[in-house]
């Protein structure tokens, strides 16, 4: 199963991705987390260091090719795939691959375009792949997430967050990308405004997978720079994301 987490910048994609991985880690499944955000922060949320990103691998290969360091007769794609496999960080509970970005002024799209190939190559090695996507709609327009099974769109209460969510639903439709499941997750809700925000969320036309409340403990973790996966199991936010996962799996 391939699950992607999308939405406007800063709405909680990385929080949801990392807590989905936490919830899945308690199972015996083989999990791959992919940080597809060029401004990568999933490793921090998971408490894992990444030495080499796919962007770095690509830069190195370009340099090796330019300097004639690739033996003739060797397929460049095979070398690329091999080096990408090597850059996967393995932990006891999950593996992690960060897409990163090319150095300097290089276009990020080249790395982004590699994501679809990576997903295709790796999907048979894992039970679940969780992708923390870059903010916005480009993962759809570039079709990097077209083979995803479950698309989770995160929004906060902001009008712009809701609009991005709505656009993701509409663009997937327009591009005839048919996710098996497509859900909205409403994040940073307060009890005082819950009703009103739920009303606004309905207007996106997306089915709701769950609501996550504003959480002071998450803020505390942010201030201290602690990995979100270390949130206790009793945390309401952890429970909310586990609930979202059960909802996905029961369908
Ligand atoms: N329910 C919540 N309660 C309190 N803080 C939250 C909550 N959800 C997210 N945050 C905080 O808001 C900030 C943005 O969240 P997060 O990094 O998950 O968003 P994002 O969509 O991944 O952002 P970006 O687009 O920059 O990658 C983080 O500091 C995060 O810890
Ligand atoms: Mg993020």
Instruction: Divide the 251 residues of the chain into consecutive groups of 10 and give the mean pLDDT of each group.
Output: 96 98 93 91 96 91 88 85 94 95 61 82 95 90 90 97 96 94 96 91 95 98 97 98 92 72
> Domain 2-249: which topology?
Rossmann fold (3.40.50)
Distance (Å) from CA 232 to ligand 2 centroid: 21
Alpha-carbon gap, residue 15 to 8, rounded angstroms: 13
Residues, beta carbon < 5 Å, ion ligand 2: 13-14
Alpha-carbon gap, residue 162 to 154, rounded angstroms: 9
Instruction: Indicate the pairing of strand 128-132 with strand 95-98.
Output: unpaired
Q: Which residues of 179-188 are buried (b: 16+ CB within 10 A; e: fewer)?
A: bebbbbbbbb
N-to-C CA span, the chain? 12
Alpha-carbon gap, residue 89 to 49, rounded angstroms: 8
What atom in ligand 1 is closest to the CA of residue 39?
Answer: 27
pLDDT digits (tens, 9 = 90+) for 97-128: 999 876 655 555 667 678 888 998 899 999 99
What's the confidence (pLDDT) of residue 104?
57
Q: Cα–Cα distances in Å, from 69 out to 63, 79, 171, 216, 243?
A: 8, 12, 43, 53, 51
Ligand 1 mutation pick, 187, 218, 227, 238, max ligand atoms within 8 A of CB: 218
What's the confidence (pLDDT) of residue 108?
58
Give the DSSP H or E segment for 131.
Answer: strand 128-132
Alpha-carbon gap, residue 135 to 10, rounded angstroms: 8
| Helix, strand, coil fractions of the chain, as percent rounded to 5 | 45, 20, 35
Distance (Å) from CA 118 to ligand 1 centroid: 26
Distance (Å) from CA 63 to ligand 1 centroid: 36
Alpha-carbon gap, residue 61 to 70, rounded angstroms: 8
Assess contact for 40 and 100: CB atoms under 8 A: yes
CA 10 to chain CA centroid, Å, is 13
Ligand 1 mutation pick, 4, 6, 7, 15, max ligand atoms within 8 A of CB: 15
Alpha-carbon gap, residue 73 to 89, rounded angstroms: 29
Domain positions in the chain are 2-249
Task: Write the residue with the smallest CA distance to atom 23 of ligand 1.
Answer: 10
Which residues have CB under 8 Å from 231's CB, separation 6+?
A: 19, 22, 217, 218, 221, 237, 238
Alpha-carbon gap, residue 123 to 119, rounded angstroms: 6
What's the confidence (pLDDT) of residue 136?
87
What atom in ligand 1 is closest to the CA of residue 189?
Answer: 1
Alpha-carbon gap, residue 156 to 199, rounded angstroms: 13
Task: Write the residue with the smallest CA distance to atom 14 of ligand 1.
Answer: 10
- Please list every protein residue whose CB sits less than 6 Å from any atom of ligand 1: 7, 9-15, 37, 41, 135, 187-188, 212, 214-215, 218-219, 222, 237
Alpha-carbon gap, residue 153 to 88, rounded angstroms: 26
Assess contact for 206 and 184: CB atoms under 8 A: yes
| 35 DSSP β-pair partners | 98, 132
What's the confidence (pLDDT) of residue 105?
53
């Amino acid at each position: 199963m391939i699950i992607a987490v999308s939405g406007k910048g800063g709405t909680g994609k990385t929080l949801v991705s990392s807590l989905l991985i936490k919830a899945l880690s308690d199972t015996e499944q083989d999990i791959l987390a992919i940080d597809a955000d060029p401004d990568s922060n999933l490793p921090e949320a998971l408490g894992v260091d990444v030495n080499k990103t796919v962007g770095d691998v690509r830069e190195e290969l370009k340099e090796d090719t330019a300097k004639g360091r690739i033996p003739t007769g060797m397929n460049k794609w095979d070398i690329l795939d091999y080096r990408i496999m090597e850059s996967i960080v393995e932990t006891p509970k999950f593996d992690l691959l960060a897409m990163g970005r090319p150095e300097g002024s290089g276009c990020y799209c080249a790395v982004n375009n590699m994501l679809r190939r990576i997903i295709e190559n790796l999907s048979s090695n894992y039970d679940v792949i969780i992708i923390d996507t870059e903010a916005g709609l480009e993962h759809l327009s570039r079709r990097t997430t077209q083979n995803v099974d479950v698309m989770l769109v995160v929004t906060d209460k902001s009008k712009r967050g809701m609009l991005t969510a709505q656009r993701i639903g509409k663009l997937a439709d327009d591009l005839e990308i048919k996710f098996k499941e497509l859900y909205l997750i409403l994040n940073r809700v307060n009890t005082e405004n819950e009703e009103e925000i739920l009303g606004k969320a309905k207007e996106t036309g997306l089915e709701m997978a769950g609501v996550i409340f504003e959480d002071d403990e998450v803020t505390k973790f942010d201030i201290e720079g602690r990995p979100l996966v270390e949130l206790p199991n009793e945390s309401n936010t952890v429970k909310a994301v586990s609930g979202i996962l059960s909802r996905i799996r029961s369908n």
